[in-house]
Amino acid sequence: MAAAPTYDSVVNLGDVVGYGASPNEVVERSRSLGNIFVRGNHDKAATGLLDLADFNPMAAAAAIWTQNQLTPENHAWLKSLPHGPLSLEGFPQAKLVHGSPEDEDAYIVSIGDALVPLLALTAPLTFFGHTHLQGGFFANGNSADGFRPEYRTVGQAESVSLQLKPETRYLINPGSVGQPRDGDWRAAFALFDTEAQIVHFHRSPYNLKAAQDRIFAANLPPRLATRLAAGR
C-alpha cells in the first residue's frame, strides 16, 4: 500500500484468500481498504461454494486449510461477496469481473480466449482477475490484440502507463498482489485515472521471505512458498 499513488477507492477483483498463510489478516485489511469486491473462485472454495474436485491437489489443500482458519465473521463475509459483473462506482462505463464477463470461473489468457468476450462487451472497459497475469486485451474495429506492461528492472518499484483510446474495448487485468504468474515476483496492481483515461500498471517489491516463512510455518504445501520467488 505504501507503493500505491493517491487513490479515491480500492477495488478487489476476487481471490482475497486461497494460497497465503494469513487469510484473516488479508480479509480484514481488504475490508478496511474498500467496499468494492467481486468474488473469486478461491473465495468460493474456501467457503464451501465451489466443489474442490475442480481444483488441483495443492489448491484444494490450501482451500481446506483456509476454510479451517477463517473466523466465522470473515467466513461469512467472504461467502457473501457478490457475483460479477459489477459497475465501477462513479464510473459505470467500467465493469468489474473475476474471470470472464460471461463466466466468472473462465480464464482469459490468450487473445483466443478474449476475442468473444471483447466482441460481446457493451462497456468500453472491463477489469478482470483470475489469471494472475498483468496486462490485457483490446479490440478496435476489426483489430484485436493483447498487451503486457514492459518493465525495466526486476526488483524495484515501477509503473507503466496505458492511455485508453476512444472507440476501443478493453479487458484489463491489474495483476495479482499475492501470487503473480507472469515471471515477475513483485506485487502487481493498477491505478485507473478515470479523468485522463489512463491505466497505470504498478509492480512493487515486498518482504518475500516473510511471506514464504509464514507458508512454511503453516505447513501448507511448500510449493506455495517457493513459487513466489519465481512469480509462477
Q: Which residues contact 32 (CB under 8 A, 6 or more apart)?
A: none
Instruction: Choose among 172, 174, 8, 201: nearest CA to 90.
Output: 8
Please report the pLDDT score of residue 80 as a whole number: 96
Please state, in angstroms and rounded to a whole number, the distance separating the CA atoms of residues 228 and 215: 11
Helices 57-69 and 23-33 cross at an angle (nearest 10°) of 70
Q: At residue 1, does pLDDT exceed 90?
A: no
For cell 457493451, name the residue.
122
- Cα–Cα distance for residue pair 51/125, rounded to 1 Å: 31
Cα 164 to the center of its chain, rounded Å:
20
Condensed to tens digits (0 to 9), the pLDDT of residues 3-47 reads 999 999 999 999 999 999 999 999 999 999 988 999 999 999 999
Question: In this predicted model, what pLDDT tens digit does every residue of 128-174 receive, in sequence order?
Answer: 999 999 999 999 987 899 999 999 998 899 999 999 999 999 999 99
CATH of region 11-230 = 3.60.21.10
pLDDT tens-digit readout, 67-121: 999 999 999 999 999 999 999 888 888 999 999 999 999 999 999 999 999 988 8
145 φ/ψ angles, rounded to the nearest 5 degrees? -165, 175
- Overall pTM > 0.85: yes
